Chains A and B, each alone.
Chain A
Amino acid sequence: MSMISEKDLPLTEAVFYILLALRHPNHGYGIMQEVENMTGSRVVLGAGTLYGAVQTLEKKKWISVLSADQSSRKKKEYLITELGREVFEAERSRLSELLENARKMEEEK
Chain B
Amino acid sequence: MTRFRLYLDKDKEVEWLNRMSDEGYAMDSFFCGFYSFIPCEKGEWQYQIDIGHGFFFTNPAYKEFMKEMGVDIVQNWGPWVVLRRKAREGEFALYSDVDSQIAQYKKILLMFKIVTLIEFLILIAELYGACKGVTAAWGFALLIAAIIVAFLNMVKNIKRIIWELRERKGEAVPEYKARPYSPLIPAGFLIDSLTLIFLDSIPGPLKPVLLFLSLVLIIAGAFLSVRNKEKKF
Contact = CB atoms under 8 A, between A and B. Distances in A.
A49 B94 contact: yes
B95 A29 contact: no
Nearest to A49: B100
B76 to A, nearest CB: 15
B52 to A, nearest CB: 10
Q: Is the interface of A mostly helix, strand, loop or mixed?
A: helix
Size class of the contact patch on chain A = 20 to 34
Nearest to B107: A52
Contacts of A47: 65-66, 69, 71, 83, 94
B93 interface: yes
Interface in A24-69: 27-29, 32, 43-55
B64 interface: yes
Contact of B99 (A12, A51, A54): A12
A44 B96 contact: yes
Size class of the contact patch on chain B = 20 to 34
B100 A53 contact: yes
Nearest to A50: B69
Given A29-B69, A46-B100, A51 B62 contact: yes
A76 interface: yes
Identify the interface centre among A27, A47, A50, A55: most chain B CB within 10 Å of its CB.
A47
A46 B68 contact: no
Interface of A: 12-14, 27-29, 32, 43-55, 75-76
